[in-house]
Amino acid sequence: MRTLHYILFAVFIFIFLCAAQRHESSFSKEEKMIIGTDKDSIMRVWLTTNYEDSLFLRRKAKLLSEKEIRSSCFETLKKRMLYTVNDTVQPGVGIAAPQVGISRCLIAVQRFDKPGEPFEFYINPRLVYMSERKKVGKEGCLSIPDRMGMVARSTDIVVRYVDESTLQEKQDTVSGFTAVIFQHEIDHLSGILYIDKLSN
């Protein structure tokens, strides 16, 4: 009887582990095609001037799983996003994965508040604090060509995100122009564009 219990328990653990692996998502075939394998090339920026692109940019992005973060696709996506935002034809100060056709919660932000002003990536970022004090400033967007607008943004924020090395949550307090970039890029992950927040 005890042997039967051990067998049933082992079968239960096996089924549980198989189910857990199935639920741990990975990049889709379509996403892998968009990401590609050439790490040293720019990606097509999705534009509001294209109807299908515009609908895509309005989607809510999916969280990245541990499996996806550890994948070679993720590394390629980051490198290609960095090439894209640094494209000399149309450089930017930040970029979100949905802007290059990947509806996942990943952004790159130029840290003007750090020495050397490096671009840094943030996985599954979310704002956990936004100051009531706001400042109106001019914004543009790689996905909205030939247009600028005035937007009121919080001057100070706290952003929480997943650390790529440890897969643990971290948070950072950011102020000034860099805080504006974070707000702009995190909006993209909810399908929100700066033109939705234009100041009168």
Task: Give the Cα separation of 178 and 23 in Å (integer).
Answer: 36
Per-residue pLDDT tens over the stretch 9-23: 554 554 544 444 444
Give me the pLDDT at residue 25, please. 62
Per-residue pLDDT tens over the stretch 136-149: 999 999 999 999 99
Give me the pLDDT at residue 102, please. 98
- The fold of the 28-197 domain, in CATH, is Peptide Deformylase (3.90.45)
The annotated binding site is made up of: 141, 184, 188
Q: Sketch the domain layout of the chain as residue ranges.
A: 28-197
Cα dihedral: 91, 95, 100, 102 (round 10):
170
Q: Active site includes 185?
A: yes
How confident is residue 189, by pLDDT bands cut at 50, 70 and 90?
very high
Q: Is the pLDDT of residue 127 over 50?
A: yes
- Please state the separation of Cα 44 from the chain's center in Å: 16
Per-residue pLDDT tens over the stretch 179-188: 999 999 999 9
The annotated binding site for Fe cation is made up of: 141, 184, 188
